[in-house]
């Protein structure tokens, strides 16, 4: 018991850093499902919002690219003929398809 107290007294910042790391590890374990899904959210958001900007609101491409720009990089491919947007970010790919003037855009599985 005295050895533990002596360690904390000798290294207070190291003990605090170890405690913070343990708390962060516990939070990451608790939120592991949400953290695994996060990369998919980036590409899905980009595809859906860009599709809505282009085909529902009829804005020009350069405006929509700046509208959906994020701090995290993503690539956008536009198929204007079929009104389909494919976005790739953080290794995940999502697609959005224009359904019609009343339905707007909808996320759909990417075409291989």
Task: Answer yes or no: do 104 and 61 share one domain.
Answer: yes
46 and 92 both lie in a single domain: yes
Q: 24 and 71 in one domain?
A: no
43 and 97, same domain (yes or no): yes
- Same domain, yes or no: 50 and 104: yes
Q: What is the pLDDT of residue 71?
A: 67
Q: What is the pLDDT of residue 84?
A: 94
In terms of domains, do 17 and 44 share one? Answer: no
Query: Higher confidence at residue 18 or residue 63?
Result: 63
Provide the domain limits for residue 79.
39-108
Same domain for 79 and 25, yes or no, is: no
The count of structural domains within the chain is 2
pTM to 2 decimal places:
0.70
Q: Encode 79-107 in three state secondary structure.
A: ECCCCEEEEEECCEEEEEEEEECCCEEEE
- Mean pLDDT, residues 42-55 taken together: 92
For 6-32, write each residue's pLDDT tens digit.
Answer: 666 677 787 788 889 999 999 889 888
């Amino acid at each position: 018991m005295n050895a533990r107290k002596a360690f904390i007294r000798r290294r207070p910042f190291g003990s605090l850093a170890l405690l913070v790391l343990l708390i962060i590890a516990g939070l990451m374990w608790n939120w592991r499902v949400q953290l695994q899904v996060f990369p998919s959210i980036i590409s899905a958001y980009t595809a859906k919002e860009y599709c809505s900007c282009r085909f529902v609101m009829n804005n020009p491409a350069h405006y929509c690219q700046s509208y959906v720009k994020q701090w995290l990089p993503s690539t956008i491919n536009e198929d204007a003929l079929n009104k389909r947007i494919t976005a790739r970010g953080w290794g995940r790919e999502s697609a959005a398809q224009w359904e019609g003037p009343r339905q707007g855009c909808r996320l759909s599985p990417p075409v291989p």
